[in-house]
Amino acid sequence: MAEAIRMPLLSDTMKEGVIAAWHKKVGDTVKSDDVLAEVETDKATMEVTPYVEGTLLYIGVEKGQAAKVNDIIAIIGKPGEDYSALLKESGAQEQKASTPQETQPAQEQPAAQQQPAPAQPGAQQQAQPVQAQSAASQQQPAQQQSQKEQPTAGAASPQATPKPGDATVIRMPLLSDTMTEGKIVSWLKKVGDQVKSDDVLAEVETDKATMEIVPYVDGTLLHIGVEAGQSAKVNDIIAIVGKEGTDITPYLQDAGSTQPAAAAPQPGTTTGSAAAPAPATDESAGAQQQQSLAGEGERVKASPLARRIAAEKGIDIHQVKGSGDNGRIVKRDIDEYKPAAQQQAASKTAGGTSFPAAQPAVPGQEGYKDIPLSQMRKIIAQRLSESKFSAPHFYLRMTVTMDNAIEARKHINEVSPVKISFNDLIIKAAAMTLRRHPEVNSSWMGDFVRQNQHIHVGTAVAVDEGLIVPVIKFADQKSLSQIATEAGTLIEKARNKKLQPPEFTGNTFTISNLGMMDIDEFTAIINPPDSCILAVGKIAPTPVVEDGAVVVRQLLKLTLSCDHRVVDGAVGARFLQTLKAHLENPVTMLV
């Protein structure tokens, strides 16, 4: 499916951008991290990165010309793909194209096909201070704010109105199509600090990943509107950067923003019939950690998120070995860190399986712990509830004999440049099966069913905050080694919360595998907008009867959850039959 690349909103006063240069031409192959073009704004010249892969099909604005915020400046898709529907939906035919290509007439496609702008370059380069979809930021730029007379505690004065250029409002960006608010994980600057345009101002936790906020302006940090650990809705003011001494009151009043409230008690403290000592211990450990970091002469390379979690857990960050670039400590290192004494004292069963450490209990005391919802957990609750209660689920189960697949995987790994897992085999088999059963590769769109011609397979990955689904695009067109490499990279990025929006959106089918956790079988909730999800259990040696004799076979149990609005029972059954044939005889995937 073709993707529209739009002019991003890069500052609160920007209305249009001028294309300073195109780094690609129509027909060129574009990678997700390529620089597509340079855009000159009223603040600086910025690079536009598409975050999608494909062929550059269309350039809508020539070099040296301007485009309004959110106008289509380019389209990327498959070679020869018809993109006229995107232009019709946006009214982009009126723009001048840089090539003589004419848009071919195509059947009217629903407006729902158009991708939301946040997944386009408006969410590129870490996190943009303002989003193109923000109506408030478009309708109330600084020039309009200066014309409004705002009430103040005393008599209003002309000097209280904001002057263009004195300060820039930094707002909560829209970083994914499901995001409604973001949580400030940490501030890397404090009020009064000097800020450069490319400094990282703060880290924001969304429902998908942790992103960095860059102000794109130079000046002094005058105001922080949301404290660390608290949330702000998309487009709310989170900071103001400007000239030192600038009165920020008019900016806050014009935006309808309020001064930051005093920190309210946060959920997460244990409450019982008597005061429990655990919270005080955590707080003292955090204070000691801060003192240790401040007093340490040698600077430890660690991400701000890793430092914060280490402080919360009372972990001496100097004792943690980093696995990131140049030994940098990342969140995963803190999560997996175990002191030497704890490792030696880890409880084990007779079979050698380790158990998590038991939580201490206070005899005779009732208690509970309120855990604040992360952005990811909120979206999981919202979307899966909508799926479960709106999509009529039904379930099909099938048992697959995996003896041939086990043998085939052994031989494949002898020659493959990367290790092929059973999950990689299942992804490949599912993608090949979807090509034969396009009815399953479909989505319910309300008043029509969209049958996708591309196959993007999502794989559910468990992370500390919940669940995320990185997507392998065009999985049917990739080899097993390509799938294994890409899956490994995406899973690693997912666990470190470094996925970019194009890497966790666009799925047409999803696989959830709990076999590695010794689960025999389970049922999964459909992941919108898919019409099906495949739940994968463990491979287990099981006695079966063949030709009157009892033999042991390696069996795998699969459960397909189907949306009955799109997929009927017979359609789902035929899908599973083909999938079973591929897994029981992997050679068929090569044909």
Report the distance separating Cα 145 and Cα 249, nearest Å: 12
Contact 508, 455 (CB under 8 A): yes
Report the distance separating Cα 391 and Cα 526, nearest Å: 8
- For 532, other C-beta atoms within 10 Å of its C-beta total 28
What are the tokens at 270? 């244990």
Report the distance separating Cα 274 and Cα 310, nearest Å: 28
Among 34, 177, 218, 564, the active-site one is 564
Report the distance separating Cα 493 and Cα 486, nearest Å: 11
- Give 301: exposed, middle or buried? Use CB within 10 Å, 0-12, 13-18, 19+: middle
H or E element in which residue 22 lies: strand 16-22
Task: Return all residues near 117 (Cβ < 8 A) that are at least 6 apart.
Answer: 6, 70, 131, 132, 133
H or E element in which residue 66 lies: strand 66-68
Distances (CA, A) of 165 to 39, 158, 205: 20, 16, 29
Strand partners, 233: 181
Closest listed residue to residue 313, CA positions, set 333, 353, 283? 283
In the numeric block, the tokens 């280490």 are attached to 310
| Three-state SS annotation for 384-426 | HHHHHHHCCEEEEEEEEECHHHHHHHHHHHHHCCCCCCHHHHH
- Annotated active-site residue 454? The verdict is no
- Annotated active-site residue 218? The verdict is no
Task: Return all residues near 188 (Cβ < 8 A) that are at least 6 apart.
Answer: 199, 200, 201, 202, 203, 304
Question: What is the edge-to-edge ordering of all strands in the sheet holding 210-213?
Answer: 210-213, 202-205, 181-187, 231-233
For residues 348-379, b (16+ Cβ closer than 10 Å) or e, as one string? eeeeeeeeeeeeeeeeeeeeeeeeeebbbebb
Task: Return all residues near 590 (Cβ < 8 A) that are at least 6 apart.
Answer: none
Which amino acid type is present at position 12? D
Long-range own/partner contacts, residues 161-164 (CB < 8 A, 24 or more apart) = 161/250, 162/250, 162/251, 162/254, 164/13
Q: What's the residue count for the chain?
A: 591
Distances (CA, A) of 412 to 344, 408, 416, 480: 38, 6, 6, 9
Beta strands per DSSP E along 430-588 = 442-444, 449-451, 457-459, 461-463, 466-468, 471-472, 509-513, 532-546, 549-563
Among 42, 447, 568, 582, the active-site one is 568
Intra-chain end-to-end CA distance of the chain, in Å: 26
Residues with catalytic roles: 564, 568
